[in-house]
Amino acid sequence: MITNVAILGCSGRMGRNLITAAVDDPHLTLVGGGVRPSSSFVNFDLGEMAGIGPIGILTTSTLAALNTADVLIDFTSVDASLANVQWCVEHQKAIVIGTTGFTESQIQQLQQAAQHIPLILAPNTSVGVNLLFKLLEITAKAIGDYTDIEISEAHHRFKQDAPSGTALKMGQVIADALGRNLKDCAVYGREGITAQRDQKTIGFATVRAGDIVGEHTVLFADLGERIELTHKASSRMTFALGAMRAAKWLALKPAGFYTMQDVLALTSQEY
């Protein structure tokens, strides 16, 4: 089966990798790419933008021009993604969302939209990171109740949300495994005299520097030993390849709210 895909936000750093990944996948056909109306890349060849040479498909600033797509892949901004999802509902299109920074109420909007269309919300489309989510769940259930848990993440200087969506998802996975409410137990940075650490908290630390693609480490520390689970991305292509895998999977699914855990079958009771 060949799936027609269109990429929203294709002029960005991530978008260019998505173009390359879509063109290289034999089971996908890239049918278009969207950019902002104010972008200087309107009517620009997608292949030229990605640095792979002309492919004869031009960018558009209107979603209507992407109507031949089966699945839209959206790595844009929160406001743009919400608008794009509404269009997908109206035109019965599946969508993979890699945008981060949604509030709880905005996620609820996406869940409501998913009653009408197949929708994946993935704060990180890397296969490795999503495997790590499962490992975090297993580790938290085994030792989380008596260890100190700290999550640290590092990204490039241009990233606008902090902590990263991936770090927050890691915290949520751990909190759920331990029966805690992340809103109540999260600690975002420390300064000054903080008193003794509350073992029920989950700490977050953030670094923004240079061109770091993405690094995440979760520390489970006890007295005398510690476990560190780390994922380091050296190229945005890892996220692009995961997004393609998600798009092919989603094209075969009914309306519903899905995650990369579903794509990778990591929600199975066997794990």
Give the separation between CA 228 and CA 148, rounded to whole angstroms: 11
Instruction: Report yes or no: 205 and 150 within 8 Å, Cβ to Cβ.
Output: yes
Active site residue 159: yes
Catalytic residue, chosen from 91, 134, 156, 159, is: 159
Angle between helices 78-91 and 104-113 in degrees, nearest 10? 20
**Alpha helices (H) in 57-164, listed in sequence order:** 78-91, 104-113, 127-143
Residue 46, classed as helix, strand or coil, is helix
> Distance of CA 222 to CAs 44, 133, 188, 229, Å?
55, 21, 21, 15
Give the separation between CA 194 and CA 211, rounded to whole angstroms: 32
Please name the residues in contact with 220: beta carbons below 8 A apart, sequence gap of 6 or more: 139, 140, 143, 144, 147, 148, 149, 226, 227, 228, 229
Catalytic residue, chosen from 93, 155, 169, 216, is: 155
Active site residue 27: no
Give the separation between CA 163 and CA 153, rounded to whole angstroms: 7
Burial 42-61 (b: 16+ CB within 10 A, else e): bebbbbebbeeeeeebbbbe
Catalytic residue positions? 155, 159
